[in-house]
Amino acid sequence: MQLATETIGGDNGETEWSFINVAVISLFSLPDNELLELLSHVVTSCAYYGDDGIHVIDIKSITDVVTMVPHHPRLPSEVVEDHFFMVEKPGLDVASFGILPVDDAVEGEGSDNDSDDAMDGQ
């Protein structure tokens, strides 16, 4: 995403606009140590900070991307809380979770498009 920033430019004092590339991120707590021990350091479970954890940062400062997946662990105190566990290097496949590609032409039916016939030389 690009963010417009206003600067006072040069000798004439005119306002100038420039654009910087930014990302909107959400911060989470440090891992719950007691839960981390119980889960043999396999699942890193964190709490979400909500709106207080949303920040805009310079995109060049990003060093890694992780996915925070919601889960509801039963804590040692027997309380069930909303937490998130971290998945490192999720890959691009997470961008299409729950989205199925839709083909306009139903398989086995003819197409009204004459370009198919033109490709066959007919």
Digit-coded pLDDT (tens) for 74-100: 877 888 888 898 888 766 555 555 545
6 is in which domain, residue-wise?
2-98
On whether residue 69 sits in a domain, the answer given is yes
Q: Which two tokens stand for residue 5?
A: 């920033």
Q: Count of domains in the chain?
A: 1
Digit-coded pLDDT (tens) for 3-46: 777 776 666 777 788 888 999 999 999 988 888 888 888 888 89
On whether residue 47 sits in a domain, the answer given is yes
DSSP 121: T
On whether residue 9 sits in a domain, the answer given is yes
Digit-coded pLDDT (tens) for 38-53: 888 888 889 999 999 9
Residue type, 73: P
On whether residue 106 sits in a domain, the answer given is no
On whether residue 39 sits in a domain, the answer given is yes
The number of residues in the chain equals 122
On whether residue 10 sits in a domain, the answer given is yes
On whether residue 33 sits in a domain, the answer given is yes
State the Cα–Cα distance between residues 49 and 26, nearest whole angstrom. 8
